C-alpha cells in the first residue's frame, strides 16, 4: 500500500503564506499577542537594567578608588585608623606599595545636591595604585602643586565640570554633615575612556590633609591601600599591626556591601516576572483562539495531506516570529522604563543600604539577550498546548466545533489533581529553608496551581449564579453564564489571567498594608522622645556624621529640656558571623521601656537596665533571623579597637529600620572598648508643660546660619519615616499596575476572539429580533461575570499569597516579623478592579457588535 501522507506531503510554503495573510487580515488579535510579550519583557528588562545600573555605578565608583589595590588595612571603627600605622608600614617596614586614604560622602548645591564621594589621597603615593594623577590633569604640575598647597583644593572629572558649567579656579560649596565648606577647583581630570568617565562621575579628589580637616579626622585615616602579591609579606605586615586593626582583601568590602541588596533585587526581579506569567496567559489565549478559529481550515488541510507535525510547526513558528517582535519591542520599552525605575531603586538603596550615584542607565548585552530568550521561551511554552491540540486532532474532529469544549469538560478532574500536585510541590519548596530562588519557585507553584482551578470553579460559579442572574436580567441573565461555560476553554484562560493579576494585587496590598501598620505601631512604641537632633545625613536611616561637643553640652542645659538620650553608630565586624553589622551605642532608652522584644533572657527584667550596666548586648530580630541564630542566641564576638571581645545577648528587639541587623551596646562600654566618645544624635524629653514644637523652633532659630542641624519633632520624624516607607514601595505599585494592564489586554483578547468566533451566532440573534441594546447588555453581563469570577477566586488566592509573602519570603529576605492586617478594603478594591477591568474590556467588542451587518454575519460561515 502506498503511504500518500508521506509521498505527497503538502509543501510548507503555502501554509506560511496562509498564516501571513491571516495576520494581515486580523492584525488586532496578533497585536495583543505582541503586547503580552512586550509588557512582560519590558518589566523584567527595566528591573534588571535598574538593578545592574545601580550595582555598576557602585562598582565603578569603588574600583575608581580601589585602582590596583589588592589589600587594605582597616580599623574596627570606620574612619578611625591611626595614621601612625601608615608610618609604621611605610617607614619601619619599608613597604613602599602603600597609600593612605580618607574618604566620605558629601553634598554640594553646586553639583545638583547629589551624594558624591570625597576621596583624600597622597599624590606622591598614588602612582602605583591609581593612574588619574599622571598625565590626566588639564594643567599638569600646576594642579598637583595647588592640590598640596591650597586649603580644601579639589579635583573633579571633566564630565562633572561640563555638566554644571564649572571651570578651573572656581569655588564650590561642600556640605559635610551639616557644615558648609568652600572648596576651590584646582584640577580637572580628563578620563581616557567612557568607563573611566562613568567611574569618576561621582568622585571628588582632594589632598589627604584637606580631607582629614574637612571630615574632622585629623590624625586618622579611612584605610591604607596595599599592593601585596607575596603572602609572606602580608603575614609580616599583620604581625606589626596594633589591636583592632586588620587586613582585608580589596574586593571583600565591596562584595559584602553589594550582597546587602541581593534579597531586595531578587524580590523586585520575582515581582517583575509576574507580568510575564500573566502575559503567558494572554499568549495562550491568543494562540488557542487562533487555533479554534482555524479548526475547520485545519480539518480541510489535514484531509488534503497536511500532517499534524506541519500544523504544530506552523503554530509554533507563528509564536516564535510574533514573540520575537514582542520581545524586541519589550527591550525598547524596558530601556525607557528602566530610566524611571533606576531612580526609584537608587533612592531605596540610598535610604537603606549604601550611597550610590547613578548617572546613566547601563545596558548590558546579557540583559537584552536574556529578555529576548525568556520572552520567546515563554511564548513557546504558552503555545505548546494549543499547538499540540491542533497537531493531535484527527481531520474529522477538527470539523466538529464541540470537540475542544467536551475535552475541557473531561479534563476538569485532572485539573483538580494537577492543582493538588502543584500545591504540594509549592508547599514543600516553601518549607525547605533553601535560597530565595527556591522559595519564590514555591510561591509561583502555588500561584500557577491556583490558576488551574479556574475552569472548574468558573463552571461551578456560573451554575450557582444562573438563577440569580436570570431573575435580575431575564433571558440575557440565563444566556450569559451559559455562554461563558460553553466557551470555557477560552473564557477560563482570560479569567485566570485576570485572577492572577488581581490575586497578586490583593496579596501585595495586604503585605504592604500589614508592613506599614506594623511600622506605625513600632514607631509609636519606639519613638518616645519629643525632639530629635542629628547632623544632616546622606542616607535616610543612618546617621553618618557627629555632633560637635559644644553643641551637645549647650543642648543638655537648654531651658525646658528634662532629659537627653544620646546615641552613636558605626559598622563593626562580628567575628562569629564574618560580616559587618550596625553597632549603636546608647546612654539611655529613647522608648522609655515601650520597645517591643521578640525574646528576653530574663523575661521579668528590663533588658535596658542590664544593658546600661554593661552586662551584654541587645540584637535586632533581623540579625537573628537572617543569620539563623539559635534562640536563646549564643554570645557574639565583636571586633573592638582593643581586640576581640565576647558579649552575651540580653534580648532580641523588633527593628524595621534596616534589614542588615543591628546591635545595641551601652555608650560607656563602647567608649572604653572602641575609644570613641563622639555623639551622633540626641533625643530630647521636654519638661511638663513645655511644647515640643516651640523647642524645635527655638533650636532651629538658634543654630540657623551657624550649624546645619536636622532638628525634628517626634511627629515630623514619624512622618518622615513613613514617607521613606511609601517611597520604597512606589515601584511595587507600578509593577502591580502593569500586571493589571496585561490582564486587561487578556480579557479584551478573549472577548474579541469570542466575538469573531460567534459572529454567525450574533447575526442569527439579531435576525430573530435581538436589539443592539440587548447585545450590549449581553456582552457586558458576560464580561461582568468574568470579572466577578476572577475577583472572587482572587480573594482567597490573594490571602494565601499574602501569608506566604509575610511569614515566609519577608522573613527569609529581610528578617522582619510582620503582623498581618486584614483590611476589607483590600478585597473590595480588588474585586472592583476585576469587574471594572472586565467591563472596560467589553466596551470595544460591544461597539463592534453594534456595527455588525446582519446579512454578512449570517453568511460568514
What are the Cα distances from residue 577, in Å, to 580, 639, 845?
8, 11, 61
Q: Which of 64, 790, 99 is nearest to 450 (CA)?
A: 790
Can you tell me the distance from the alpha carbon of 644 to that of 629, in angstroms, rounded to the nearest whole number? 20
746 pLDDT tier (thresholds 50, 70, 90):
low
Helices (H), 294-432: 295-303, 308-352, 365-392, 395-398, 402-431
- CA 743 and chain centroid, separation: 22
Looking only at the bridges linking them, the beta strands covering 116-121 and 203-207 are parallel
H/E stretch holding 533: strand 531-534
* Residue 619 pLDDT exceeds 80: yes
Name the residue with higher pLDDT: 403 or 440: 440
Tens of pLDDT, residue by residue over 141-179, are 677 778 888 888 998 888 888 888 888 888 998 888 777
Q: pLDDT at position 400, please?
A: 52
Give the pLDDT of residue 262.
Answer: 66
At 801, list the grid cell.
Answer: 499569597
Residues 656, 802: Cα–Cα separation, whole Å: 19
How far apart, in whole angstroms, are the C-alpha atoms of residue 481 and residue 783?
10
**Given a cut of 60, is residue 595 above it in pLDDT?**
yes
Quick one: cell of 575? 567575628
Assign 351 a pLDDT band (cuts: 50, 70, 90).
Answer: low
- Pairing type for strands 179-189 and 154-157 reads parallel
**Alpha carbons 206 and 123: distance in angstroms, whole number:** 9
Given a cut of 80, whether residue 125 has pLDDT beyond it is yes
Q: What is the pLDDT of residue 436?
A: 78
The reported pLDDT for the residue numbered 252 is: 67
Residue-averaged pLDDT of the chain: 81
| DSSP run (H or E) holding 144 | helix 141-149
Query: What does the chain come to in residues?
Result: 861
pLDDT at 135: 44
Angle at the Cα of 281 from the Cα atoms of 450 and 23, rounded to 5 degrees: 165
Which range (20-29, 526-535, 544-553) has the least confidence? 20-29
Residue 4 has pLDDT above 60, yes or no: no
- Give the residue carrying C-alpha cell 506569567: 277
Residue 386 confidence (pLDDT) = 76
According to the model, what pLDDT value does residue 110 have?
A: 87
85, 243 in Cβ contact below 8 A? no
| 764 within 8 A of 858, measured Cβ to Cβ | yes
With CA atoms as reference, report the closest residue to 286 among 28, 25, 16, 21. Answer: 28
C-alpha distance from residue 33 to each of 279, 378, 442 (Å): 8, 12, 28
> Sorting pLDDT into bands at 50, 70 and 90, what band is 1?
very low
Range from 82-86, 549-553, 642-646, 768-772 carrying the lowest mean pLDDT: 768-772
Worst-scoring range by mean pLDDT, 109-113, 602-606, 756-760? 756-760
Closest to 187 measured CA to CA, from 199, 198, 203, 176: 203
pLDDT at 492 over 90: no
Q: Is the pLDDT of residue 250 over 90?
A: no
Confidence band, pLDDT 50/70/90 cuts, at residue 477: confident
| CB-CB contact of 101 with 65 (8 Å) | yes
Give tens-digit pLDDT for 821-842.
Answer: 888 888 988 888 888 888 887 7
Mean pLDDT of 22-36: 76
Q: Is the pLDDT of residue 793 over 90?
A: yes
Structure confidence by residue, pLDDT tens digits, 495-512: 887 888 888 888 888 888
Higher-pLDDT residue of 54, 492? 492
Q: Are 204 and 118 in contact (CB under 8 A)?
A: yes
Determine what percent of the chain is predicted with pLDDT higher than 70: 83
Residue whose C-alpha is closest to residue 222's, from 487, 570, 455: 570
pLDDT tier at 800, thresholds 50, 70, 90: very high
In the chain, where are the structural domains located?
1-67+253-400, 77-243, 455-526+718-861, 536-708
Mean pLDDT value across residues 706-725: 82
Predicted confidence at residue 289, as pLDDT, reads 66
Instruction: Report yes or no: 121 and 130 within 8 Å, Cβ to Cβ.
Output: yes
Compute the average pLDDT of residues 747-771: 72
Between 760 and 624, the more confident residue is 624
C-alpha cell at 621: 530580630
CA distance 136 to 191: 7
pLDDT value of residue 253: 62
What is the structure's pLDDT at 360? 67
- Considering 27-41, 175-189, 559-573, the range whose residues carry the highest mean pLDDT is 559-573
pLDDT of residue 10 exceeding 60, the answer is yes
Q: How far is CA 334 from CA 30, 35, 48, 368, in A?
A: 21, 13, 9, 9
- Per-residue pLDDT of 295-326, as tens digits, reads 777 777 777 777 878 888 888 888 888 889 98
Do 452 and 492 contact (CB within 8 A), yes or no?
no
Q: What is the residue-wise DSSP string for 18-37?
A: HHHHHHHHSHHHHHHHHHHH
Residue spans of alpha helices (H) in 217-261:
231-239, 250-259
pLDDT surpassing 90 at residue 603 = no
- For the four alpha carbons of 83, 84, 87 and 88, in that order, the dihedral sign comes to negative
- Cα distances (Å, whole numbers) of residue 594 to 329, 565, 602: 54, 15, 17
Q: What is the mean pLDDT of residues 261-271?
A: 67
The answer to whether the beta carbons of residues 280 and 356 sit under 8 Å apart is: no
DSSP assignment of 92-135 equals IS---SEEEEEEEEEB-GGGTT--EEEEEE-TTT-TTT-GGGSS
Q: What's residue 616's pLDDT?
A: 92
Pairing of strands 710-713, 531-534: antiparallel
Burial 343-365 (b: 16+ CB within 10 A, else e): ebbbbbbbbbbbbbbbeebbbee
> Residue 255 corresponds to which cell in the numbers above?
562584595
Instruction: Give the per-residue pLDDT at 576.
Output: 80
Residue 66 Cα distances to 155, 156, 201, 251, angstroms: 17, 17, 15, 9
CB neighbours of 455 closer than 8 A, spacing ≥ 6? 408, 411, 412, 415, 488, 492
- pLDDT attached to residue 531: 92
Is residue 777 pLDDT above 90, yes or no? no
CA distances for 808 relative to 312, 431, 503, 519, 572, angstroms: 41, 9, 18, 18, 29
Q: What is the mean pLDDT of residues 347-368?
A: 71
% of the chain surpassing 90 pLDDT: 14
**Quick one: average pLDDT of 66-84?**
84
Amino acid at each position: 500500500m502506498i503511504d500518500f501522507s508521506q509521498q505527497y506531503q503538502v509543501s510548507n510554503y503555502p501554509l506560511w503564506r496562509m498564516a501571513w495573510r491571516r495576520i494581515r487580515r486580523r492584525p488586532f488579535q496578533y497585536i495583543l499577542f505582541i503586547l503580552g510579550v512586550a509588557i512582560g519583557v519590558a518589566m523584567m528588562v527595566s528591573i534588571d537594567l535598574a538593578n545592574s545600573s545601580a550595582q555598576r555605578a557602585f562598582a565603578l565608583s569603588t574600583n575608581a578608588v580601589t585602582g590596583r589595590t589588592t589589600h587594605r588595612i582597616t580599623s574596627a571603627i570606620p574612619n578611625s585608623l591611626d595614621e601612625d600605622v601608615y608610618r609604621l608600614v611605610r617607614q619601619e617596614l619599608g613597604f613602599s606599595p602603600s597609600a593612605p586614604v580618607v574618604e566620605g560622602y558629601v553634598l554640594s548645591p553646586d553639583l545638583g545636591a547629589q551624594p558624591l564621594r570625597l576621596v583624600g589621597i597622597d599624590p606622591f603615593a598614588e602612582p602605583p595604585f591609581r593612574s588619574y594623577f599622571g598625565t590626566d590633569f588639564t594643567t599638569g604640575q600646576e594642579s598637583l602643586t595647588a592640590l598640596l598647597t591650597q586649603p580644601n583644593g579639589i579635583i573633579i572629572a571633566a564630565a562633572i565640570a561640563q555638566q554644571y558649567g564649572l571651570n578651573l579656579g572656581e569655588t564650590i560649596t561642600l556640605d559635610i554633615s551639616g557644615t558648609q565648606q568652600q572648596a576651590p577647583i584646582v584640577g580637572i581630570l580628563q578620563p581616557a575612556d567612557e568607563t573611566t568617565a562613568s567611574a569618576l562621575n561621582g568622585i571628588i579628589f582632594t589632598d589627604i590633609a584637606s580631607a582629614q580637616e574637612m571630615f574632622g579626622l585629623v590624625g586618622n585615616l579611612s584605610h591604607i591601600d596595599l599592593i601585596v602579591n607575596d603572602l609572606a609579606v602580608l603575614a609580616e605586615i599583620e604581625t606589626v599591626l596594633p589591636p583592632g586593626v586588620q587586613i582585608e582583601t580589596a574586593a571583600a568590602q565591596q562584595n559584602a556591601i553589594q550582597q546587602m541588596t541581593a534579597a531586595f533585587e531578587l524580590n523586585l526581579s520575582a515581582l517583575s516576572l509576574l507580568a510575564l506569567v500573566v502575559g503567558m496567559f494572554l499568549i495562550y489565549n491568543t494562540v488557542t483562539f487562533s487555533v479554534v478559529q482555524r479548526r475547520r481550515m485545519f480539518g480541510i488541510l489535514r484531509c488534503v495531506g497536511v500532517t499534524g507535525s506541519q500544523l504544530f510547526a506552523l503554530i509554533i513558528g507563528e509564536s516564535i516570529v510574533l514573540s520575537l517582535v514582542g520581545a524586541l519591542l519589550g527591550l525598547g520599552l524596558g530601556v525607557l522604563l528602566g530610566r524611571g525605575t533606576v531612580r526609584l531603586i537608587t533612592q531605596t538603596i540610598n535610604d537603606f543600604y549604601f550611597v550610590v550615584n547613578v548617572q546613566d542607565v547601563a545596558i548590558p548585552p546579557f540583559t537584552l539577550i536574556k529578555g529576548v530568550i525568556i520572552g520567546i521561551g515563554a511564548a513557546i511554552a504558552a503555545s505548546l498546548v494549543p499547538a499540540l491540540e491542533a497537531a493531535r486532532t484527527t481531520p474529522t474532529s477538527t470539523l466538529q466545533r464541540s470537540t475542544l469544549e467536551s475535552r475541557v469538560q473531561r479534563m476538569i478532574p485532572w485539573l483538580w489533581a494537577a492543582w493538588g500536585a502543584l500545591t504540594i510541590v509549592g508547599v514543600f519548596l516553601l518549607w525547605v529553608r533553601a535560597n530565595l530562588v527556591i522559595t519564590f519557585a514555591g510561591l509561583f507553584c502555588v500561584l500557577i496551581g491556583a490558576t488551574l482551578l479556574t475552569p472548574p470553579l468558573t463552571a461551578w460559579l456560573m451554575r450557582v449564579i444562573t438563577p440569580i442572574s436570570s431573575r435580575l436580567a431575564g433571558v440575557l441573565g440565563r444566556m450569559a453564564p451559559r455562554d461563558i461555560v460553553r466557551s470555557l476553554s477560552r473564557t477560563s484562560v482570560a479569567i485566570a489571567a485576570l485572577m492572577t493579576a488581581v490575586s497578586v494585587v490583593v496579596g501585595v496590598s495586604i503585605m504592604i498594608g500589614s508592613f506599614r501598620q506594623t511600622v506605625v505601631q513600632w514607631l509609636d512604641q519606639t519613638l518616645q522622645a519629643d525632639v530629635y537632633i542629628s547632623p544632616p545625613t546622606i542616607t535616610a536611616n543612618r546617621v553618618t556624621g557627629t555632633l560637635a561637643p559644644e553643641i551637645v553640652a549647650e543642648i543638655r542645659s537648654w531651658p525646658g529640656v528634662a532629659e537627653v538620650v544620646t546615641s552613636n553608630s558605626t559598622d563593626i565586624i562580628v567575628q562569629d558571623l564574618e560580616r559587618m553589622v550596625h553597632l549603636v551605642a546608647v546612654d539611655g532608652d529613647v522608648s522609655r521601656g515601650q520597645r517591643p522584644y521578640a525574646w528576653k533572657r530574663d523575661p521579668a527584667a528590663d533588658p535596658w537596665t542590664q544593658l546600661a550596666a554593661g552586662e551584654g548586648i541587645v540584637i535586632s530580630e533581623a540579625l537573628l533571623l537572617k543569620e539563623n541564630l539559635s534562640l536563646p542566641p549564643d554570645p557574639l564576638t565583636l571586633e573592638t579597637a582593643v581586640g576581640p571581645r565576647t558579649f552575651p545577648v540580653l534580648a532580641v528587639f523588633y527593628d524595621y529600620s534596616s534589614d542588615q541587623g543591628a546591635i545595641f551596646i551601652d555608650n560607656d562600654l563602647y567608649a572604653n572598648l572602641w575609644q570613641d566618645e563622639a555623639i551622633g544624635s540626641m533625643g530630647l524629653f521636654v519638661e511638663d508643660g513645655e511644647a515640643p514644637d516651640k523647642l524645635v523652633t527655638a533650636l532651629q532659630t538658634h543654630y540657623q546660619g551657624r550649624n546645619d542641624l536636622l532638628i525634628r519633632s517626634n511627629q515630623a520624624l514619624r512622618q518622615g519615616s513613613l514617607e521613606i516607607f511609601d517611597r520604597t514601595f512606589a515601584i511595587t505599585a507600578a509593577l502591580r499596575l502593569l500586571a493589571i494592564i496585561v490582564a486587561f489586554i487578556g480579557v479584551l483578547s478573549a472577548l474579541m476572539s469570542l466575538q469573531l468566533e460567534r459572529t454567525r451566532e450574533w447575526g442569527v440573534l439579531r435576525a430573530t429580533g435581538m436589539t443592539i441594546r440587548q447585545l450590549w447588555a449581553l456582552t457586558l453581563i458576560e464580561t461582568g461575570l468574568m470579572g466577578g469570577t476572577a475577583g472572587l477566586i482572587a480573594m482567597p488566592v490573594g490571602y494565601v499569597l499574602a501569608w506566604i509573602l509575610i511569614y515566609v519570603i519577608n522573613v527569609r529576605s529581610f528578617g522582619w516579623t510582620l503582623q498581618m492586617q486584614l483590611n476589607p478594603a483590600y478585597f473590595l478594591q480588588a474585586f472592583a478592579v476585576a469587574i471594572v477591568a472586565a467591563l472596560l474590556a467589553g466596551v470595544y467588542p460591544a461597539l463592534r457588535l453594534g456595527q455588525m451587518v446582519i446579512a454578512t454575519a449570517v453568511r460568514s460561515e
